[in-house]
Amino acid sequence: MVDTTIVIDPVNGAAGDMITAALIDAGADKDLVMRAMASVVNRPTITEVMRAGIRSLHIETHAPHFTRCFDEIIQTVNSADAPSDAIEMAKNIFNRIYRAEEAVHGHSPHFHEVGADDAVADVIGACTALISIRPDAVVTLPIPLGDGSVPSSHGLIPVPGPATLHILMEAGLNIRFGPPGSGELCTPTGAAIIAEFTKENIRDIPGGMVSAIGNGAGTRNPVERPNILRIIIIKSEEEQIHDYVDLLETNVDDVSGEVLGNAIEALMNAGAKDTCVIPCTMKKGRTGNLVRVICSQDDSSHLAELLATELGTLGIRCIPHIHRFIAERSIHEIEVEIRGEHKKIPVKFGWSGKRCYSVKAEFEAAKEWAISLGLSPREVCRVIEEFAWRYVNTDKIN
């Protein structure tokens, strides 16, 4: 199975026209995008331009500067000649902008610059372009925000604009300030489009082959840097599910088994994916233990602190961003009969494509039943798994 990942690389910021143009340059359905945008404004034009020596596409909507209120914008979006998925996505984007404007200006926010027809066309165009590519994932590199101040309907406002900053905060996108003297690089529309598109963290960019590159040009053409946003499309072929984890480690030689056991329990309760204690020989021939914790990257910091607190260790090694293959798994309740008693027990099935290669009874449920039957949990698990194998490749499982 081939996965398609779009990487948004905002080389010099992000705006709606830059995103749309870059997606078209990377292979989006140009005719579909043009038709969708033309249903909102006059038919846009696309020209090939150079930005600091890099060939790029620049899109112009030719829209009059007429602003609309939120309800009018949604009405316009609903009437666009675009795929239904693109229309829903566009409405989500304007809802993001609405929430940001409301947070900045209070109730009944006004759509000024972002309510203009060209912004509506850019959003419709970008959503239609993305839908035409149908990526499996979209990730975004840190977004440069610029510096200084820019004029607005409220007077001079700082860069990044308050609404832009709120959108980026709400979406949890990575940013970077500057470069100095660059002005506004990320518009509220650009921020909201990227926020809606992006579903993965930057650290989750998969390996693979670059299948397409698209460059979308901004209007300005500074000589010191290319004013572009770049789209990189990656194709990766992966049979297994994968993710990325952090690995925490520490060596201890002065804690008891009871303390180690309590630490493992505390770490698992706090969100660790797995923990283990491995006997080892430390310096000067001392016996000790290597404590290892596998965790998500978001949990790494607080689990390292917990590990130090529980064990009193002065150093925690963190090996970040380890690629981990994960078997596809599913859990089903299987009806099992033992000694004439029928019971539904959850069983975990491991899959490689459509082939099941592992069944595992959920131990706590099996243990509870084993106690009531007066049998050993190991024996009950074996019987449950025998029943489970009979269900493989049946309609009850697949």
CATH number of the domain encompassing residue 348: 3.10.20.300
Are 352 and 327 in contact by the 8 Å Cβ rule? The answer is: yes
The yes-or-no verdict on residue 372 having pLDDT over 90 is yes
Mean of pLDDT values over 42-52: 94
Number of domains within the chain: 3
Q: Check whether residue 257 and residue 374 sit in a common domain.
A: no
Q: Does the pLDDT at position 238 exceed 90?
A: no
> Among 237, 254, 288, which residue terminates a domain?
237
* Mean pLDDT of the region 112-121: 73
| 82 and 190 belong to one structural domain | yes
Together in a domain, 98 and 189: yes
Mean pLDDT of 359-380: 93
- Tell me, what's the pLDDT at 398? 57
88 and 139 assigned to the same domain: yes
Q: Is residue 398 part of a domain?
A: no
- Position 396 in a domain: no
Residue 79 lies in a domain: yes
Confidence band, pLDDT 50/70/90 cuts, at residue 242: low
Pair 23, 47 in one domain: yes
Is residue 322 predicted with pLDDT exceeding 90?
A: no
Give whole-number Cα distances, 107 to 99, 102, 104, 206, 232, in Å. 10, 5, 9, 42, 39
Name the residue with higher pLDDT: 363 or 201. Answer: 363
Query: Rounded mean pLDDT of 44-59?
Result: 96
Domain co-membership, 319 together with 357: no
State the Cα–Cα distance between residues 82 and 87, nearest whole angstrom.
6
Asked whether residue 387 carries a pLDDT value surpassing 80, the answer given is yes
Kindly state whether residue 385 falls inside one of the protein's structural domains. Answer: yes
Q: For residue 293, list its beta bridge partners.
A: 248, 275
Is the same domain home to 350 and 266? no
As a whole number, the mean pLDDT across the chain is 89
> Which of 326, 345, 363 is at the close of a domain?
326
Q: Does residue 132 contact residue 1 with C-beta atoms inside 8 Å? A: no
Decide which of 317 and 181 is more confident.
317
b/e sequence 348-377, b meaning 16+ C-beta within 10 Å: ebebeeeebeebbbeeebbeebbeeeeeeb
**Residue 370: its pLDDT value, please?**
94
**Where does the pLDDT of residue 110 fall: very low under 50, low under 70, confident under 90, or very high at 90 and above?**
low
What is the SS3 string spanning 126-137?
Answer: HHHHHHHHCCCE
Q: Check whether residue 273 and residue 357 sit in a common domain.
A: no
46 with 118, same domain: the answer is yes
Joined together, the tokens standing for residue 61 give 């909507």
Q: Which residues contact 193 (CB under 8 A, 6 or more apart)?
A: 14, 16, 19, 93, 122, 123, 126, 127
**199, part of any domain:** yes
Q: What is the CATH number of the domain that holds 303?
A: 3.30.70.1380
Residue 244 — pLDDT band, cuts 50, 70, 90? confident
3-state secondary structure of 104: helix
Instruction: Evaluate whether residue 397 is within a structural domain.
Output: no
Specify whether 218 is located in the same domain as 280.
no
**Percentage of residues in the chain having pLDDT higher than 70:** 92
Last residue of a domain, which of 198, 222, 237? 237
In a domain, residue 263? The reply is yes
- Does one domain contain both 32 and 164? yes
pTM, 2 dp: 0.64
| 280 in the same domain as 311 | yes
Domain range for 14: 2-237
In a domain, 93, yes or no: yes
Higher pLDDT, 370 or 328: 370
Residue 111 has pLDDT above 70, yes or no: no
